[in-house]
Amino acid sequence: MQRFTARAVVVGDRAGTVVPQAVVDVADGEITWVGPAAEAPPAGDADVVELPGVLMPGLVNAHSHAPMVLFRGQGEGLPLDRWLSEVMWPREARLTGDDVEAAMTAASAELLRNGVTTSVEMYFHPERIAAAVDRTGARAVIATPLLPLPGMPPLREQLDRAVDLAASAPRDGRVEYGLGPHAAYTLPLPLLADAARAAREHGLLLHLHVAETATEGQDLLALHGLSVPALLAAHDVLGGRVLAAHCVHLDDGDLELWREYDVAVAHCPASNAKLASGVAPLRDMLDRGIRVGLGTDGPASNDALDLLADARLAAQLARLASGDATALSAAEALWLATGAAADALGRPDLGQLEAGRRADLVHVDTRDLAFVPIGDATDVLTHLVWSAGGRFVRDVWVGGRQVVADGACTTVDAGALRADVAERAGRLARGAGPGGSPTRDAPVS
């Protein structure tokens, strides 16, 4: 058994519970006890880890295309259509499985350094993404992308392969595969319906993009007379574990459908702001009981992988959009990156420091002016959201295994990875082929 003692534990629940002078006991990768040190059971022969700062749950990133660290900052300032056609698509057309694995390994290490222990990934070469997180020790839910692109198999075959991959993978909680039909505006509705049926049948996460921009549903609306959510409902796509990214442009009727079908939302405020997509109706979603988790989106459209910073932005935007400083509390903002995000994924084993959940722990160094003053215990949580960020993450454990120590990832060589990603990014930007044929001509993001 391991016993962690900390200045305080931030549980990651909706209420924003903070336990001062706390203990977290861990055995076999799971949390067995959380509470005040004064009430802790006997430590026995446990390995005691005394931490000067705060322990919070490993953050859960509900929407990411992390291998896109290869494309960070490229095409800065271009309008969306030119950014896609002139910068992103040509690069992605040259992408190889080796590129994806190298980029995901580096990105996974960066996510861990920022306290993100689980991410929902939707990107090409899903097995290579799994190999990458296997190296770093992180968790991932990998939604195999389904997209009608030249060079890719027919959609039906893509779906069959994705279902086979999900069914054959060992379910140890580290890597879980889901289905990632890109969006209603990029895929035929019958394929979406089949993917949804398969996801329900196998208990898989169905992850897709919905209503990211104001214009993406216009053709569908003209053709069917229905909003994208209504169209998805009409085609039996909703129900089961559905996680919809963005959901910026939803009206009351759409939100009501989300509530009715218990569709979860991956809210990506940094990406939505950078790409000027809009501000999602977060307060409305939460008030209706819709499950929402926070996502970074891909690092070409964020561009950081700092989910704690995005929690602050979520609160800022919710307050700005409503003109109400109570629109989203610091506790709710942090919950969106922890317990609420785990709920949005349908993974009740993650996201909170609670007995029975997996021991994904993040130690935040609070020996900084950013964490001063502390009046009552909940000030720690307030500071985490409003003045801290991923740079204060000092140590991280996934399933009780330490993967970040003193701010550095212990499982991989970050310096070598950085050089490798830089070289690959340069090759992709120059247009030099890797020796194989181009495989892609459009992005997943």
352-381 burial: b if 16+ Cβ within 10 Å, else e: bbbeebbbbbbbbbbeeebbeeeeebbbbb
Smaller CB separation from Zn ion, 9 or 87 = 87
Cβ of residue 445: shortest distance to Zn ion, in angstroms?
4
Closer CB to Zn ion, 105 or 445, in the complex:
445
Q: Which is nearer to Zn ion, 54 or 66 (CB)?
A: 66
Cα→Cα distances 292→116, 266, 357, 389, Å: 17, 6, 20, 21
Rounded to an integer, what distance in angstroms lies between the CA atom of residue 125 and that of residue 114? 24
Residue 445 as a binder of Zn ion (CB under 5 A): the answer is: yes
Residues composing the chain: 445
| Closest distance to Zn ion from the beta carbon of 64 (Å) | 8
**Local structure of 6: helix, strand or coil:** strand
Nearest distance, CB of residue 209 and Zn ion, angstroms: 6
3-state secondary structure of 10: strand
Q: Residue 321: CA atoms inside 13 Å, Cβ hemisphere, count?
A: 18
3-class state of residue 91 by DSSP: helix
Q: Angle at CA 293, nearest 5°, toward 95 and 369?
A: 95
d(C-alpha 270, C-alpha 295), whole Å: 9
Least CB distance from residue 340 to Zn ion, whole Å? 19
Task: Find the shortest distance in angstroms from Cβ 268 to Zn ion.
Answer: 7
CB of 225 to Zn ion, least distance (A): 27
Q: Nearest 5 degrees, angle CA 95-CA 99-CA 102?
A: 160
Give the count of residues interacting with Zn ion (CB under 5 A).
2
Q: Which residue is nearest to Zn ion (CB)?
A: 445
Work out how close the CB of 410 gets to Zn ion at its nearest, in angstroms, rounded to a whole number: 30
Instruction: Kindly tell me which of 145 and 399 has the beta carbon lying closer to Zn ion.
Output: 145
- Token pair 């500071």 in the structure block, residue: 383
**How many angstroms separate the CA atoms of 124 and 263, rounded?**
24
Strand arrangement, sheet containing 175-181: 59-64, 116-121, 139-146, 175-181, 206-210, 242-246, 264-267, 292-294
64 near Zn ion, judged by CB under 5 A: no
Three-state secondary structure call for residue 227 = coil
The distance of closest approach from Cβ of residue 345 to Zn ion in the complex, given in angstroms and rounded to an integer, is 15
CB atoms within 10 A of CB 138: 29
If the CB atoms of residues 243 and 361 are measured against Zn ion, the closer one turns out to be 243
Mode of pairing for the β-strands spanning 242-246 and 408-409: unpaired
Nearest CB to Zn ion, comparing residues 158 and 445: 445
Query: Between 285 and 304, how does the x/- string for binding to Zn ion read (CB under 5 A)?
Result: ------------x-------
Q: Is the peptide bond before 373 cis (omega within 30 degrees of 0)?
A: yes
Amino acid at 419: A
By beta-carbon proximity to Zn ion, the closer residue of 271 and 338 is 271
Tokens of 339: 């317990």
Q: How far is the CB of 122 from Zn ion (least distance, A)?
A: 6
**Residue whose CB is less far from Zn ion, 302 or 445:** 445
Is the CB of 297 or the CB of 306 nearer to Zn ion?
A: 297
Closest separation in Å from C-beta 9 to Zn ion: 32
Phi/psi for 264 (5° steps) reads: -95, 155
Cβ nearer to Zn ion, comparing 281 with 298: 298
Whichever of 114 and 445 has its CB closer to Zn ion, that residue is 445
Alpha-helical regions (H) of 148-296: 155-168, 189-202, 218-224, 228-234, 252-261, 269-274, 282-287
Least Å distance between CB 177 and Zn ion?
A: 17
* Cβ atoms of 126 and 95 closer than 8 Å: no
Q: How far is the CB of 160 from Zn ion (least distance, A)?
A: 24
Two structure tokens written together for 288: 């209706």
Residues that bind Zn ion (CB under 5 A): 297, 445
